[in-house]
Amino acid sequence: MTNFPTVRMRRTRQNEKLRGLVRETHLEVSQLIYPLFIAEGLDRPREVPSMPGIMQWPLEHLGREAERIASLGIPAVLLFGIPNEKDEVGSQAYHPHGIIQEAIRRLKAETPDLLVITDVCLCEYTSHGHCGVIFQGGVENDESLKLLAQMSLSHVEAGADIVAPSDMMDGRVGAIRRQRARGAARNRPGYRGGGRYCDG
């Protein structure tokens, strides 16, 4: 605001009618994306302690929750997976029957109108909790790219509409696009994750 104090935006914010006239940003339900955390090995939903009101869902309960989301007019869900097994290279992240791949298939079968966006990152799937593979004590960027690309492709092959990489590897969007260009997923859009709760 370089021309303060001549320009005083508070003048147009005095009441609801004035604000309605000058408002430039409108938030609609049709713009919302609902986060869904899907955990393997749960028998009932479990609240995420750091995010009150947000649950981790077992696969079996996913359909009902997805229907509730769709009935509110929310067009899209963003899936995060919590696997049972973790290893050095995050194998469950790109396993054809991993928790997220199964969740995508289920959602696409039961609520086909809901757009399915998937988080792409390895940290929830690696035993060390890093977003990539470790080599000589550090995260090996380019080896991690291959796995992130493989993870993206497996999501799209399971039916995901959009993949949303949230890792911090250099060149991951290009790697994911190149991998998908080889597969059947040529025209699926990508989306770069913005908000981050934490990065392991």
**Contacting residues toward Zn ion, per CB under 5 A:** 121, 123, 131, 167
Alpha-carbon distance values, 118 to 10, 12, 139 (Å): 40, 40, 23
* Shortest Cβ 131–Zn ion spacing (Å): 3
CA–CA dist 129, 149 (Å, integer): 18
Query: Whose Cβ is closer to Zn ion: residue 57's or residue 80's?
Result: 80
Q: Give the 3-state secondary structure of residue 22.
A: helix
Query: Whose Cβ is closer to Zn ion: residue 121's or residue 176's?
Result: 121
* Shortest Cβ 176–Zn ion spacing (Å): 15
Rounded (10°) CA dihedral 182, 184, 186, 189: -130
Query: Whose Cβ is closer to Zn ion: residue 65's or residue 119's?
Result: 119
* Shortest Cβ 58–Zn ion spacing (Å): 23
* Shortest Cβ 51–Zn ion spacing (Å): 16
Given a contact cutoff of 8 angstroms between Cβ atoms, the answer to whether 56 and 82 are in contact is yes
Query: Whose Cβ is closer to Zn ion: residue 121's or residue 153's?
Result: 121
